[in-house]
Structure 1
């Protein structure tokens, strides 16, 4: 099984949330469903473009190596190691979101404050743990290079969306 598909899906969902976070707090209107949807789609679009960097990095590694099968296997093993910490992180985020959407107002606010807020701040650490997981699982330098490139791409979505569309709002 190639871990590329779940990793791309996680990255794109994260990009949509990054677009939302870039917009969040910049609009005091009560009804802003269209604006939040547009912000999420902007994040998704920027994320899709930025994910070309790790894709091209992996392709370059595969095209320039003498043993493509070995490099592919190394990247696959590293990708699985990269996926494990991100799956744990994504599960924690999904549990916090579920609590936010299903609990009464006060409890959902608490879920936001103690769950989603700190988890947003822990995103870079989750990516660092994923890079470490790629190495520890046997991915080596090539998996670390692709993983670090992917992590940098994902972390750049929110600032890019904010700078392009929302910097003047604050």
Structure 2
């Protein structure tokens, strides 16, 4: 199994949340479901475009490799190594989100402050751990290169969406 599909799905879900975070706090209205959805879709669109870059680099690395079979095997191993830390991180985020939605108001606020806030700040470290996982799982320099580009792409979604649509003060 190629880890490209789950990695792309994780990247797109992260981009969707990044779009929401870019908008969060910029509007004081009570009812803003439509604006939240629009911000999430903007994040998804920007993330989809930015994630084309690592996909193209991966294709280029694979097509220019002297031994495509070995390079594909290394990229697959590196992708699995990249996926493991991100799966742990995504599980922690999902548990925190589940607590936020399932618990009463005060407990859900605590889940937000203790869980989602710090986890958002730890995103770059999760990506760094994923890059280390790609190397440790024998992905080699091609997997590290693609992982670093993909990590930079997902980390650029939120500032891009914020700067493009929400940079002005309301």
Please state which band the TM-score falls in when normalised by the shorter chain.
over 0.9
RMSD across aligned positions (CA) = 0.6
Question: d(CA) in 1 for partners of 2:169 and 2:102?
Answer: 31
CA deviation after TM superposition for structure 1 residue 165, in Å: 0.2
Match for residue 162 of structure 1? 162
Q: Deviations over 1:80-139 (max 9, x none)?
A: 000000000000000000000000000000000000000000000000000000000000
Q: How many residues align?
A: 170
* Counterpart residue number, 1:50: 50
**TM (normalized to structure 1)?**
0.99
Matched ranges for 1:37-116 at <5 A: 37-116=37-116
Query: Equivalents in 2 of 1:38, 1:92: separation in Å?
Result: 26
Aligned pairs for 1:135-154 (under 5 A) are 135-154=135-154
TM-score (norm 2): 0.99
Corresponding position of 2:31: 31
The 4+ residue runs of structure 1 with deviation greater than 4 A are: none
Q: Give, in whole Å, the separation in 1 of the partners of 2:59 and 2:149.
A: 13
Instruction: Give how far 1:169 is off.
Output: 2.7
Quote the Cα distance in structure 1 between the aligned partners of 2:61 and 2:8.
Answer: 18
Equivalent position of 2:2 in the other structure: 2
In the alignment, the residues of structure 2 paired with residue 130 and residue 66 of structure 1 have an alpha-carbon distance, to the nearest angstrom, of 26
Q: Structure 1: which 5+ residue stretches go unaligned?
A: none
Corresponding residue SS for 2:66: coil
Aligned equivalent of 2:130: 130
Q: C-alpha distance in 1, partners of 2:28/2:46? A: 25
Q: CA deviation at 1:66?
A: 1.1
Give the CA deviation at 1:140.
0.7
CA deviation after TM superposition for structure 1 residue 63, in Å? 1.1
